[in-house]
Chains A and B, each alone.
Chain A
Amino acid sequence: MGANTYLTERERNILESARIGIAGAGGLGSNVAMHLVRAGVKRLVIADFDTVGESNLNRQFFFRDQLGRKKVEALAENLLRIEPALELDMRDVRLDPGNAGWTFSDCSAIVEALDSADAKSMFLGAVLPSGTPVVAASGLAGWGRSLAIGQRRVGKNLIMVGDMSSDIRNGLAPVSPRVGIAAAMQANAVVALLLGVEI
């Protein structure tokens, strides 16, 4: 049956059969994955090259006893604690223009959850031409202004979440509440896309 007993059979079938790609397992990606698994998604492709560091614990879905571990390994462990019957394809890889497209080539939707603007741009430039729906994030650093974090559909296949301006390079810290809002909105957009309801 899966973790989410609130779903109808139709909803459960849709969410369980979807394969969702997540680029990055940091503040956005780890929390998007957690939300999607709790929502009923069972098949995930998650790519990240990094390890869990002390500075990640302020917002990312990891724990102190996982410091130093590869993020893809630690995240898989945490997700399986929520729902043991997952089909996880965890890729320990740094995404680049040469591998970004095929890493997520068989996904129903892709979540852009990278950190630097250059990496986000590289990734969107690589995957948008595929036509697969993409949910990206831009502008989520700092405190307050919860309602400034919005979502908008850009064209047919891109949904952008964030305030489009709050940049960690301007001295704003990436902290759990605002990063968490953006991650939850990304996950919610994915579920809405899958179920065919308003994002």
Chain B
Amino acid sequence: MTIRYQGEETRTDAATVAAFLAEKGVGANAVVEYAGEVYGPGADLAALSLEENGVLNVYGIVSGG
């Protein structure tokens, strides 16, 4: 299927958001926005199915303050 990831059309065979993020090497320190919903770090994304044309954005959390 094709989704829009970080603003770019992206092909994937991943069935879930968790599987897709694992493919991309996205670690635990990130906020995930999918289909308009926001998932904080540690949220269980394994049951969140990817849909055709779904919009997925990831915001990395890095140290500093």
A residues whose Cβ falls under 8 Å from a Cβ of B: 24, 26-29, 113-118, 120-122, 124-129, 136-141, 152, 154-158, 160, 162, 164-169, 172, 174, 179
A144 to chain B, nearest CB (A): 15
Contact B41 A124 (CB under 8 A): yes
The answer to the question of B36 belonging to the interface, with a C-beta cut-off of 8 Å to chain A, is yes
Contact B65 A139 (CB under 8 A): no
Question: When A113-B65, A114-B65, A154-B31 are in contact, do A125 and B40 touch as well, CB less than 8 Å?
Answer: yes
Contact B64 A179 (CB under 8 A): yes
Please report whether the interface of chain A is mostly helix, strand, loop or mixed according to DSSP.
mixed
Docked Cα-Cα span, A129 to B42, in Å, equals: 12
Which residues on the B side are within 8 Å of A152 (C-beta)?
59
Contact B62 A164 (CB under 8 A): yes
Question: When A117-B29, A154-B33, A154-B57 are in contact, do A128 and B62 touch as well, CB less than 8 Å?
Answer: no
Indicate which residue in A118, A122, A158, A179 contacts B65 across the interface (CB closer than 8 Å): A179
B36 to chain A, nearest CB (A): 7
B3 to chain A, nearest CB (A): 17
The answer to the question of B43 belonging to the interface, with a C-beta cut-off of 8 Å to chain A, is yes
Contact A138 B59 (CB under 8 A): yes
Please report whether the interface of chain B is mostly helix, strand, loop or mixed according to DSSP.
loop
Which size class do B's interface residues fall under? 20 to 34
Question: When A120-B29, A124-B31, A125-B43 are in contact, do A158 and B64 touch as well, CB less than 8 Å?
Answer: no
The answer to the question of B15 belonging to the interface, with a C-beta cut-off of 8 Å to chain A, is no
Which residues on the B side are within 8 Å of A141 (C-beta)?
62-64
B11 to chain A, nearest CB (A): 24
Q: Which residue of A lies closest to B42 (CB)?
A: A125
B18 to chain A, nearest CB (A): 15
B33 to chain A, nearest CB (A): 5
Task: Name 23 interchain pairs, CB-CB below 8 A, sorted by A.
Answer: A26-B65, A29-B65, A113-B65, A115-B64, A120-B63, A122-B41, A122-B42, A125-B41, A128-B31, A128-B38, A138-B60, A141-B63, A154-B38, A155-B33, A156-B38, A160-B31, A160-B59, A164-B59, A165-B60, A167-B62, A167-B63, A169-B63, A179-B65
A127 to chain B, nearest CB (A): 8
B23 to chain A, nearest CB (A): 20
Q: Which residue of A lies closest to B38 (CB)?
A: A155
A146 to chain B, nearest CB (A): 15
Which residues on the A side are within 8 Å of B31 (C-beta)?
124, 128, 136, 154, 158, 160
